[in-house]
Each structure stands twice: as C-alpha cells, then as structure tokens.
C-alpha cells in the first residue's frame, strides 16, 4: 500500500529524463466506501494549490500541473517516472 507521505516531495521525471517538478499535493475522488487517488499536483501550480487549500477553486492551476495517476510508469524511493 502506498501512503500519501510516500508521494509528497517526490521528484517527478518523464521517461526521457525531463524533470517535471516535485509532488506538492494529491488529488483524490471519494466513492461510497473509498478514496481513490486520481492525480499528483506538481511544480509551481501544485505548490499554489497546496498553499491555497487544495480544494476546488483553490487557485489557478494549469493542466500540466496535474499528473494523472494513470501516467505513472514507475515509483521508487523519492522519485516518480511518468510517460512522455
């Protein structure tokens, strides 16, 4: 099982090695019985969202500040690799 604390602060790179940024916040969707992680907030927009409270309307974010969970190809200590 992956904990939120395992993801926060990780450096995100693409498969080709481009640095995307650090994970500053997480996005989740609640269901009737669970909470499902749907994305990572990275870079400057991720930091702004975290400082603003992270809820809907919490501040401007660009689409490239959100990394969908499905884009992740590899997780390791302190680093996350995503598709190009």
C-alpha–C-alpha distance, residues 18 and 25, integer Å: 20
pLDDT 10s digits, 70-79: 999 999 889 9
In the chain, the N- to C-terminal Cα span, in Å, equals 26
List, for residues 36-53, the tens digit of each pLDDT value.
Answer: 889 999 987 677 766 666
Q: In 1-84, where do the E strands start and end? A: 11-14, 19-30, 35-42, 66-68, 72-76, 79-82
CATH of the domain at 77: 2.30.30.240
- Is the pLDDT at 61 greater than 60? The verdict is no
pTM metric for this prediction: 0.78
Structural domain count, the chain: 1
Tell me the residue range of the domain where 28 lies.
4-82
Q: How high is the pLDDT of residue 80?
A: 97
């Amino acid at each position: 099982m992956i904990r939120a604390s395992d993801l926060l602060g990780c450096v995100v790179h693409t498969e080709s090695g481009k640095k995307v940024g650090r994970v500053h916040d997480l996005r989740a969707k609640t269901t009737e019985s669970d909470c499902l992680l749907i994305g990572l907030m990275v870079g400057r927009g991720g930091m702004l969202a975290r400082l603003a409270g992270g809820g809907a309307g919490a501040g401007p974010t660009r689409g490239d500040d959100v990394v969908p969970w499905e884009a992740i190809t590899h997780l390791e200590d302190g680093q996350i690799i995503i598709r190009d």
